[in-house]
Amino acid sequence: MKTYFHVDMDAFFVSVEELFDPSLKGQPVVVGGRPNERGVVSAASYAARKFGVHSAMPLRTAYKLCPQAIFVDGHPERYRECSQQVYDVLHAFSPLVEMASIDEAYLDMTGTERLYGPPMKAAHLLHERMKARTNLNCSIGIAASRLVAKISSDQAKPNGVLWVLPGQESAFLAPLDVRKVPGVGKVTEKNLHAVGIRKVGDLARLDEAFLEQRFGKWGLALAGKSRGLDAGGWFDTEIGENEGPKSISHEHTFSEDTADPAQMESTLARLCEMVGRRMREHGLSARTIQLKLRYSDFSTITRAHSVPRATHIDTEIYEEIRELFHRNWTPGATVRLLGVHVSGWADEGEQMSLMGEERHEKWEGALAAADKLRDKFGESAVSLASTLRGRFRERTHENPASLPGKRPPGKPAQ
Protein backbone atom coordinates (compact mmCIF):
# COMPACT_ATOMS: atom_id res chain seq x y z
CA MET A 1 0.00 0.00 0.00
CA LYS A 2 1.43 3.36 -1.07
CA THR A 3 1.51 6.39 1.20
CA TYR A 4 1.63 9.82 -0.42
CA PHE A 5 1.86 13.30 1.07
CA HIS A 6 0.70 16.38 -0.78
CA VAL A 7 2.27 19.48 0.77
CA ASP A 8 0.66 22.79 -0.16
CA MET A 9 2.05 26.06 1.18
CA ASP A 10 -0.71 28.26 2.60
CA ALA A 11 -1.30 31.48 0.61
CA PHE A 12 2.33 31.20 -0.43
CA PHE A 13 2.92 34.48 -2.27
CA VAL A 14 1.09 36.46 0.40
CA SER A 15 2.90 34.63 3.20
CA VAL A 16 6.29 35.43 1.66
CA GLU A 17 5.31 39.11 1.37
CA GLU A 18 4.40 39.03 5.08
CA LEU A 19 7.88 37.77 5.92
CA PHE A 20 9.33 40.95 4.42
CA ASP A 21 6.55 43.24 5.66
CA PRO A 22 4.97 41.97 8.91
CA SER A 23 2.42 44.82 8.83
CA LEU A 24 0.58 42.88 6.11
CA LYS A 25 -0.33 40.04 8.49
CA GLY A 26 -4.07 39.71 8.97
CA GLN A 27 -4.79 42.31 6.29
CA PRO A 28 -6.65 41.75 2.99
CA VAL A 29 -3.69 41.48 0.59
CA VAL A 30 -3.76 40.98 -3.19
CA VAL A 31 -0.59 39.98 -5.03
CA GLY A 32 -0.28 40.60 -8.76
CA GLY A 33 -0.24 44.31 -9.43
CA ARG A 34 -2.01 47.60 -8.88
CA PRO A 35 -5.81 47.86 -8.83
CA ASN A 36 -5.87 50.07 -11.95
CA GLU A 37 -3.79 47.62 -14.02
CA ARG A 38 -5.00 45.06 -16.54
CA GLY A 39 -3.34 42.10 -14.90
CA VAL A 40 -4.89 39.34 -12.82
CA VAL A 41 -4.65 38.34 -9.18
CA SER A 42 -1.78 35.93 -8.52
CA ALA A 43 -2.75 35.31 -4.89
CA ALA A 44 -5.03 36.68 -2.21
CA SER A 45 -4.79 36.49 1.57
CA TYR A 46 -7.51 34.64 3.46
CA ALA A 47 -8.80 38.03 4.64
CA ALA A 48 -9.25 39.13 1.00
CA ARG A 49 -10.83 35.82 -0.02
CA LYS A 50 -13.70 36.49 2.38
CA PHE A 51 -14.77 39.25 -0.02
CA GLY A 52 -14.73 36.91 -3.01
CA VAL A 53 -11.26 37.74 -4.30
CA HIS A 54 -9.44 34.77 -5.83
CA SER A 55 -6.50 34.01 -8.10
CA ALA A 56 -6.86 34.62 -11.87
CA MET A 57 -9.48 37.32 -11.19
CA PRO A 58 -8.86 40.68 -12.96
CA LEU A 59 -7.21 43.13 -10.58
CA ARG A 60 -9.89 45.73 -11.28
CA THR A 61 -12.60 43.25 -10.28
CA ALA A 62 -10.70 42.46 -7.08
CA TYR A 63 -10.62 46.17 -6.26
CA LYS A 64 -14.38 46.48 -6.73
CA LEU A 65 -14.95 43.54 -4.38
CA CYS A 66 -12.41 44.65 -1.79
CA PRO A 67 -11.34 48.31 -2.23
CA GLN A 68 -9.67 48.30 1.19
CA ALA A 69 -7.22 45.57 0.11
CA ILE A 70 -3.48 46.21 -0.05
CA PHE A 71 -2.33 45.56 -3.63
CA VAL A 72 1.24 44.30 -4.03
CA ASP A 73 3.17 43.96 -7.30
CA GLY A 74 4.77 40.71 -6.23
CA HIS A 75 8.43 39.68 -6.04
CA PRO A 76 9.12 36.52 -8.10
CA GLU A 77 12.75 36.36 -6.95
CA ARG A 78 11.64 36.15 -3.33
CA TYR A 79 9.15 33.41 -4.16
CA ARG A 80 11.78 31.36 -5.98
CA GLU A 81 14.16 31.73 -3.05
CA CYS A 82 11.52 30.62 -0.53
CA SER A 83 10.41 27.78 -2.82
CA GLN A 84 14.00 26.52 -2.80
CA GLN A 85 13.94 26.52 1.00
CA VAL A 86 10.67 24.55 0.92
CA TYR A 87 12.18 22.05 -1.50
CA ASP A 88 15.26 21.64 0.69
CA VAL A 89 13.05 20.76 3.69
CA LEU A 90 11.03 18.27 1.64
CA HIS A 91 14.03 16.66 -0.04
CA ALA A 92 15.70 16.17 3.35
CA PHE A 93 12.52 14.45 4.55
CA SER A 94 12.08 12.12 1.54
CA PRO A 95 14.25 11.57 -1.55
CA LEU A 96 11.12 11.01 -3.66
CA VAL A 97 9.83 14.57 -4.10
CA GLU A 98 8.05 16.10 -7.07
CA MET A 99 7.47 19.86 -7.10
CA ALA A 100 4.09 20.27 -8.80
CA SER A 101 4.44 24.06 -8.77
CA ILE A 102 6.32 26.74 -6.90
CA ASP A 103 4.27 26.15 -3.73
CA GLU A 104 3.16 22.51 -3.75
CA ALA A 105 4.80 19.09 -3.90
CA TYR A 106 4.14 15.37 -3.71
CA LEU A 107 6.18 13.06 -1.48
CA ASP A 108 6.26 9.28 -1.66
CA MET A 109 6.40 8.28 2.00
CA THR A 110 5.91 4.54 1.45
CA GLY A 111 8.01 2.44 3.82
CA THR A 112 9.20 5.32 6.04
CA GLU A 113 7.36 4.17 9.19
CA ARG A 114 10.57 3.01 10.89
CA LEU A 115 12.10 6.42 10.31
CA TYR A 116 9.19 8.72 11.12
CA GLY A 117 6.44 6.55 12.57
CA PRO A 118 2.89 6.27 11.17
CA PRO A 119 1.75 8.75 8.49
CA MET A 120 -0.02 11.18 10.82
CA LYS A 121 2.98 11.43 13.14
CA ALA A 122 5.31 11.91 10.15
CA ALA A 123 3.07 14.65 8.73
CA HIS A 124 3.06 16.57 12.01
CA LEU A 125 6.86 16.28 12.16
CA LEU A 126 7.15 17.65 8.61
CA HIS A 127 4.67 20.38 9.50
CA GLU A 128 6.88 21.46 12.40
CA ARG A 129 10.09 21.31 10.37
CA MET A 130 8.61 23.41 7.59
CA LYS A 131 7.55 26.12 10.04
CA ALA A 132 10.88 26.04 11.87
CA ARG A 133 13.05 26.20 8.70
CA THR A 134 10.99 28.59 6.52
CA ASN A 135 8.67 30.39 8.95
CA LEU A 136 5.85 29.50 6.55
CA ASN A 137 2.70 27.46 7.13
CA CYS A 138 1.65 24.51 5.01
CA SER A 139 -1.21 22.05 4.76
CA ILE A 140 -0.58 18.34 4.25
CA GLY A 141 -2.87 15.74 2.73
CA ILE A 142 -2.16 12.03 3.23
CA ALA A 143 -3.62 9.20 1.16
CA ALA A 144 -2.87 6.03 -0.79
CA SER A 145 -3.14 8.02 -4.04
CA ARG A 146 -1.71 11.38 -5.02
CA LEU A 147 -5.09 12.58 -6.25
CA VAL A 148 -6.77 12.04 -2.88
CA ALA A 149 -3.74 13.46 -1.06
CA LYS A 150 -4.03 16.66 -3.12
CA ILE A 151 -7.73 17.02 -2.47
CA SER A 152 -7.28 16.29 1.25
CA SER A 153 -4.57 18.96 1.62
CA ASP A 154 -7.03 21.47 0.16
CA GLN A 155 -9.65 20.36 2.67
CA ALA A 156 -7.08 20.71 5.47
CA LYS A 157 -6.37 24.40 4.76
CA PRO A 158 -5.21 26.48 6.38
CA ASN A 159 -2.28 25.04 8.29
CA GLY A 160 -3.79 21.59 8.82
CA VAL A 161 -3.16 17.88 8.26
CA LEU A 162 -5.76 15.45 6.91
CA TRP A 163 -5.32 11.69 6.41
CA VAL A 164 -7.81 9.78 4.29
CA LEU A 165 -7.50 6.19 5.46
CA PRO A 166 -7.15 3.43 2.85
CA GLY A 167 -10.58 2.18 1.82
CA GLN A 168 -12.29 5.47 2.76
CA GLU A 169 -11.50 7.33 -0.47
CA SER A 170 -14.97 7.05 -2.05
CA ALA A 171 -16.74 8.12 1.14
CA PHE A 172 -14.40 11.13 1.47
CA LEU A 173 -14.82 12.22 -2.16
CA ALA A 174 -18.55 11.60 -2.63
CA PRO A 175 -19.96 14.81 -1.04
CA LEU A 176 -17.39 17.14 -2.67
CA ASP A 177 -18.17 19.34 -5.67
CA VAL A 178 -16.80 17.92 -8.95
CA ARG A 179 -14.69 21.10 -9.27
CA LYS A 180 -12.55 19.75 -6.42
CA VAL A 181 -11.21 17.03 -8.74
CA PRO A 182 -7.82 18.08 -10.16
CA GLY A 183 -8.15 18.78 -13.87
CA VAL A 184 -11.83 19.74 -13.75
CA GLY A 185 -12.00 23.38 -14.82
CA LYS A 186 -14.93 25.68 -15.63
CA VAL A 187 -15.64 24.11 -19.04
CA THR A 188 -15.58 20.50 -17.77
CA GLU A 189 -17.62 21.49 -14.72
CA LYS A 190 -20.27 23.04 -16.98
CA ASN A 191 -20.37 19.92 -19.17
CA LEU A 192 -20.71 17.69 -16.11
CA HIS A 193 -23.49 19.85 -14.69
CA ALA A 194 -25.28 19.54 -18.03
CA VAL A 195 -25.68 15.79 -17.45
CA GLY A 196 -26.64 16.16 -13.79
CA ILE A 197 -23.21 15.59 -12.25
CA ARG A 198 -22.53 18.04 -9.43
CA LYS A 199 -20.86 15.96 -6.74
CA VAL A 200 -18.02 13.47 -7.05
CA GLY A 201 -20.43 10.81 -5.81
CA ASP A 202 -22.67 11.53 -8.84
CA LEU A 203 -19.68 10.93 -11.07
CA ALA A 204 -18.76 7.67 -9.33
CA ARG A 205 -22.23 6.24 -9.88
CA LEU A 206 -22.08 6.63 -13.67
CA ASP A 207 -21.08 3.83 -16.03
CA GLU A 208 -17.56 4.13 -17.48
CA ALA A 209 -18.88 3.43 -20.98
CA PHE A 210 -21.20 6.46 -20.72
CA LEU A 211 -18.39 8.71 -19.51
CA GLU A 212 -16.09 7.53 -22.30
CA GLN A 213 -18.79 8.08 -24.90
CA ARG A 214 -19.53 11.56 -23.55
CA PHE A 215 -16.01 12.77 -22.71
CA GLY A 216 -13.63 10.38 -24.51
CA LYS A 217 -10.45 9.25 -22.75
CA TRP A 218 -10.88 12.06 -20.25
CA GLY A 219 -14.18 10.44 -19.26
CA LEU A 220 -12.36 7.23 -18.31
CA ALA A 221 -9.86 9.26 -16.30
CA LEU A 222 -12.75 11.01 -14.53
CA ALA A 223 -14.27 7.63 -13.65
CA GLY A 224 -11.01 6.59 -12.01
CA LYS A 225 -10.57 9.92 -10.23
CA SER A 226 -14.08 9.70 -8.78
CA ARG A 227 -13.00 6.50 -7.00
CA GLY A 228 -9.79 8.09 -5.72
CA LEU A 229 -7.43 6.58 -8.29
CA ASP A 230 -4.44 8.30 -9.85
CA ALA A 231 -5.64 8.64 -13.43
CA GLY A 232 -4.83 11.01 -16.26
CA GLY A 233 -2.51 13.98 -16.65
CA TRP A 234 -0.04 14.53 -13.83
CA PHE A 235 -0.91 11.21 -12.21
CA ASP A 236 0.15 9.01 -15.14
CA THR A 237 3.82 9.07 -14.08
CA GLU A 238 5.58 8.13 -10.87
CA ILE A 239 6.98 10.71 -8.47
CA GLY A 240 10.45 11.69 -9.63
CA GLU A 241 9.78 10.94 -13.31
CA ASN A 242 10.22 14.43 -14.67
CA GLU A 243 8.58 14.34 -18.10
CA GLY A 244 8.81 18.06 -18.58
CA PRO A 245 6.21 20.38 -20.10
CA LYS A 246 4.29 19.63 -23.31
CA SER A 247 4.73 23.26 -24.36
CA ILE A 248 6.13 26.52 -22.97
CA SER A 249 4.64 29.98 -23.39
CA HIS A 250 4.81 33.49 -22.02
CA GLU A 251 2.58 36.43 -22.80
CA HIS A 252 2.26 40.06 -21.81
CA THR A 253 -0.75 42.40 -21.63
CA PHE A 254 0.22 46.03 -22.14
CA SER A 255 -0.90 48.54 -19.51
CA GLU A 256 -2.03 50.70 -22.44
CA ASP A 257 -2.72 49.43 -25.94
CA THR A 258 0.11 50.23 -28.34
CA ALA A 259 0.69 50.54 -32.08
CA ASP A 260 4.42 51.26 -31.68
CA PRO A 261 6.27 48.56 -33.64
CA ALA A 262 9.55 49.18 -31.79
CA GLN A 263 7.92 48.64 -28.40
CA MET A 264 6.16 45.51 -29.62
CA GLU A 265 9.34 44.08 -31.14
CA SER A 266 11.20 44.70 -27.90
CA THR A 267 8.40 43.04 -25.90
CA LEU A 268 8.48 40.02 -28.22
CA ALA A 269 12.26 39.82 -27.77
CA ARG A 270 11.77 39.72 -24.00
CA LEU A 271 9.11 37.01 -24.29
CA CYS A 272 11.41 34.94 -26.53
CA GLU A 273 14.15 35.34 -23.93
CA MET A 274 11.84 34.03 -21.19
CA VAL A 275 10.69 31.10 -23.33
CA GLY A 276 14.25 30.19 -24.32
CA ARG A 277 15.34 30.25 -20.69
CA ARG A 278 12.58 27.82 -19.71
CA MET A 279 13.43 25.47 -22.58
CA ARG A 280 17.12 25.31 -21.68
CA GLU A 281 16.21 24.66 -18.06
CA HIS A 282 14.28 21.56 -19.15
CA GLY A 283 16.90 20.52 -21.73
CA LEU A 284 14.42 21.04 -24.60
CA SER A 285 14.51 22.41 -28.14
CA ALA A 286 11.40 23.34 -30.13
CA ARG A 287 10.45 22.94 -33.76
CA THR A 288 7.14 24.82 -33.61
CA ILE A 289 7.15 28.52 -32.76
CA GLN A 290 3.86 30.38 -32.40
CA LEU A 291 2.85 34.03 -32.10
CA LYS A 292 -0.24 35.20 -30.22
CA LEU A 293 -1.54 38.67 -31.04
CA ARG A 294 -4.60 40.28 -29.47
CA TYR A 295 -5.92 43.62 -30.72
CA SER A 296 -7.71 46.30 -28.69
CA ASP A 297 -11.11 44.92 -29.71
CA PHE A 298 -10.06 41.53 -28.20
CA SER A 299 -9.89 39.85 -31.62
CA THR A 300 -7.04 37.36 -31.34
CA ILE A 301 -4.92 35.57 -33.91
CA THR A 302 -2.33 32.82 -33.48
CA ARG A 303 0.18 31.99 -36.18
CA ALA A 304 2.75 29.19 -36.01
CA HIS A 305 5.79 28.19 -38.01
CA SER A 306 7.85 25.00 -37.91
CA VAL A 307 11.59 25.46 -38.23
CA PRO A 308 13.87 22.89 -39.89
CA ARG A 309 16.23 22.87 -36.92
CA ALA A 310 14.84 22.64 -33.39
CA THR A 311 16.18 25.44 -31.20
CA HIS A 312 16.29 26.89 -27.70
CA ILE A 313 18.32 29.95 -28.67
CA ASP A 314 16.59 33.24 -27.80
CA THR A 315 17.72 35.10 -30.91
CA GLU A 316 16.70 32.28 -33.27
CA ILE A 317 13.25 32.12 -31.70
CA TYR A 318 12.95 35.91 -31.99
CA GLU A 319 13.88 35.91 -35.69
CA GLU A 320 10.94 33.59 -36.39
CA ILE A 321 8.54 35.46 -34.10
CA ARG A 322 9.47 38.85 -35.54
CA GLU A 323 8.77 37.60 -39.05
CA LEU A 324 5.43 36.14 -37.98
CA PHE A 325 4.55 39.43 -36.30
CA HIS A 326 5.23 41.64 -39.31
CA ARG A 327 3.50 39.19 -41.61
CA ASN A 328 0.30 39.27 -39.54
CA TRP A 329 0.09 42.60 -37.70
CA THR A 330 -1.98 45.31 -39.36
CA PRO A 331 0.27 48.42 -39.31
CA GLY A 332 -1.26 51.14 -37.16
CA ALA A 333 -3.61 48.77 -35.34
CA THR A 334 -3.35 48.95 -31.55
CA VAL A 335 -2.37 45.77 -29.73
CA ARG A 336 -3.45 44.70 -26.26
CA LEU A 337 -1.48 41.45 -25.78
CA LEU A 338 1.46 39.59 -27.28
CA GLY A 339 2.51 36.01 -26.60
CA VAL A 340 5.15 33.49 -27.63
CA HIS A 341 4.48 29.74 -27.52
CA VAL A 342 6.83 26.87 -28.40
CA SER A 343 6.22 23.13 -28.72
CA GLY A 344 7.16 20.11 -30.80
CA TRP A 345 10.23 19.04 -28.84
CA ALA A 346 12.97 17.47 -30.93
CA ASP A 347 16.71 17.05 -31.09
CA GLU A 348 18.53 19.72 -33.04
CA GLY A 349 18.21 18.64 -36.67
CA GLU A 350 19.81 19.72 -39.89
CA GLN A 351 23.22 21.35 -40.02
CA MET A 352 23.36 25.08 -40.70
CA SER A 353 25.78 26.80 -43.02
CA LEU A 354 29.28 27.16 -41.63
CA MET A 355 28.64 30.79 -40.68
CA GLY A 356 25.24 29.97 -39.19
CA GLU A 357 26.65 27.06 -37.21
CA GLU A 358 29.41 29.22 -35.77
CA ARG A 359 26.86 31.87 -34.76
CA HIS A 360 24.64 29.21 -33.18
CA GLU A 361 27.50 27.81 -31.11
CA LYS A 362 28.52 31.28 -29.91
CA TRP A 363 24.98 32.00 -28.74
CA GLU A 364 24.84 28.57 -27.10
CA GLY A 365 27.89 29.43 -24.99
CA ALA A 366 26.75 32.97 -24.23
CA LEU A 367 23.30 31.90 -23.08
CA ALA A 368 24.71 29.08 -20.94
CA ALA A 369 26.82 31.68 -19.13
CA ALA A 370 23.82 34.03 -18.84
CA ASP A 371 21.70 31.26 -17.34
CA LYS A 372 24.33 30.59 -14.70
CA LEU A 373 24.29 34.27 -13.73
CA ARG A 374 20.48 34.20 -13.55
CA ASP A 375 20.61 31.10 -11.35
CA LYS A 376 22.89 32.95 -8.98
CA PHE A 377 21.63 36.54 -9.12
CA GLY A 378 18.06 36.31 -10.39
CA GLU A 379 16.22 36.36 -13.71
CA SER A 380 16.78 40.08 -14.30
CA ALA A 381 20.58 39.81 -13.94
CA VAL A 382 21.25 39.46 -17.69
CA SER A 383 19.12 40.41 -20.70
CA LEU A 384 19.45 41.04 -24.40
CA ALA A 385 19.84 44.71 -25.36
CA SER A 386 16.92 44.36 -27.76
CA THR A 387 14.58 43.71 -24.81
CA LEU A 388 15.32 46.90 -22.88
CA ARG A 389 12.50 48.99 -24.31
CA GLY A 390 10.07 46.14 -23.86
CA ARG A 391 10.97 45.30 -20.29
CA PHE A 392 8.01 44.58 -18.07
CA ARG A 393 7.47 43.33 -14.56
CA GLU A 394 7.65 39.55 -14.49
CA ARG A 395 4.23 38.08 -13.78
CA THR A 396 4.06 36.04 -10.60
CA HIS A 397 3.90 32.52 -11.97
CA GLU A 398 3.16 29.10 -10.46
CA ASN A 399 5.76 27.45 -12.71
CA PRO A 400 8.56 29.98 -13.18
CA ALA A 401 12.06 29.42 -14.45
CA SER A 402 14.41 28.07 -11.78
CA LEU A 403 11.65 26.03 -10.14
CA PRO A 404 13.35 23.87 -7.47
CA GLY A 405 13.45 20.17 -8.19
CA LYS A 406 12.84 20.60 -11.93
CA ARG A 407 15.81 19.58 -14.00
CA PRO A 408 16.51 18.07 -17.40
CA PRO A 409 17.60 14.41 -17.64
CA GLY A 410 21.17 13.90 -16.52
CA LYS A 411 21.37 17.11 -14.49
CA PRO A 412 21.96 16.43 -10.79
CA ALA A 413 19.44 17.49 -8.18
CA GLN A 414 20.12 20.76 -6.36
Q: Measured between alpha carbons, how far is 236 from 316 in angstroms, rounded to an integer?
A: 34
Collect all residues with Cβ–Cβ distance below 8 Å to 40 and sequence separation of at least 6. Answer: 32, 55, 56, 57, 58, 59
Instruction: Indicate the SS3 state at residue 190.
Output: helix
> What positions carry a catalytic annotation?
104
The pLDDT value given to residue 412: 41
The pLDDT value given to residue 413: 41
The pLDDT value given to residue 361: 80
Provide the residue type at 42 as one letter: S
DSSP track, 192-211: HHHTT--BHHHHHTS-HHHH
pTM above 0.75, yes or no: yes
Per-residue pLDDT of the chain (414 residues; tens, 9 = 90+): 899 999 999 999 999 999 999 999 999 999 999 998 888 899 999 999 999 999 889 999 999 999 999 999 888 889 989 999 999 999 999 989 998 889 999 999 999 999 999 999 999 999 999 999 999 999 999 999 999 999 999 999 999 999 999 999 999 999 999 999 988 888 889 989 988 999 999 999 888 888 888 888 888 888 899 999 987 665 666 676 656 678 899 998 888 899 999 999 999 999 999 999 989 988 899 999 999 999 999 999 999 999 988 999 999 999 999 999 999 999 999 999 999 999 998 876 555 555 567 777 887 888 888 877 776 666 666 666 666 666 666 666 556 655 676 554 444 443
Q: What angle do CA 218, 221, 224 make, to 5 degrees?
A: 155
Collect all residues with Cβ–Cβ distance below 8 Å to 135 and sequence separation of at least 6. Answer: 19
The pLDDT value given to residue 411: 46
Q: C-alpha distances in angstroms, 154 versus 157, 198, 307?
A: 5, 19, 43
Q: Measured between alpha carbons, how far is 374 from 371 in angstroms, rounded to an integer?
A: 5
Across the strands, what pairs with 6?
A: 106, 141
Exposed, middle or buried: residue 203 (CB in 10 Å: 0-12, 13-18, 19+)?
A: buried
Alpha helices in 55-165 (DSSP H): 59-65, 76-93, 113-116, 119-134, 146-156
Provide the residue type at 58 as one letter: P
Q: How are strands ordered across the β-sheet holding 248-258?
A: 248-258, 335-345, 286-295, 300-311
Given a contact cutoff of 8 angstroms between Cβ atoms, the answer to whether 277 and 401 are in contact is yes
Provide the residue type at 184 as one letter: V
